[in-house]
């Protein structure tokens, strides 16, 4: 295969993994609505339901990490109504281990920050929603998923 085919295959695999996000590679430098510069050769992703600027990165792995972090922020904000700052302690999908410390997510730091900033009902709702995703992606048993995502609350 040539580099173009390999690159396109990697982009399509990432799109399939991320669900709802379209992944592109800029062939020339461009600007998104004069708000976000996208350098030539960089990748960018946009979600078909979001009316916000795309996420831009120099490589697909960095883009993947940024989109996954955005998905977690969206799930938490859906139940909380506002973003929660987790200082890099976000889940790395599909393993659901912490990007910041490598522990199973939510790690102790993420748990502390979530508990401090979210009302109990919203925290339970957000963690239950994330538990469903993690159960299928990380092949967790129902008991393990419950202990990890909502059992600590």
61-74 pLDDT, tens digit per residue, is 889 888 887 877 77
Which residues are paired to 21 by β-bridges?
47
Q: What are 36-53's pLDDT values in tens digits?
A: 889 999 999 988 777 778
Structure-block tokens of residue 41: 């050769």
Summary count for the chain: helices (H), strands (E): 5, 7
Distance CA 115, CA 91 (A): 17
Residue 132 tokens, joined: 């469903």
Q: What is the value of pTM for the model shown?
A: 0.57
């Amino acid at each position: 295969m040539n580099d173009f085919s390999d690159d396109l295959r990697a982009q399509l695999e990432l799109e399939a993994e991320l669900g709802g996000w379209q992944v592109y590679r800029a062939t020339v430098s461009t600007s998104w609505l004069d708000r976000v510069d996208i350098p030539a050769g960089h990748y960018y992703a946009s979600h078909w339901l979001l009316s916000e600027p795309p996420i831009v990165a120099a490589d697909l792995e960095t883009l993947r990490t940024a989109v996954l972090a955005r998905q977690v922020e969206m799930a938490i904000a859906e139940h909380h109504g506002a973003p929660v700052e987790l200082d890099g302690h976000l889940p790395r999908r599909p393993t659901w281990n912490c990007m910041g410390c490598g522990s199973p997510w939510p790690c102790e730091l993420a748990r502390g920050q979530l508990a401090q900033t979210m009302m109990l009902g919203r925290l339970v709702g957000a963690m239950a929603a994330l538990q469903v995703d993690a159960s299928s992606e990380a092949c967790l048993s129902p008991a393990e998923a419950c202990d990890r995502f909502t059992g600590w609350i």
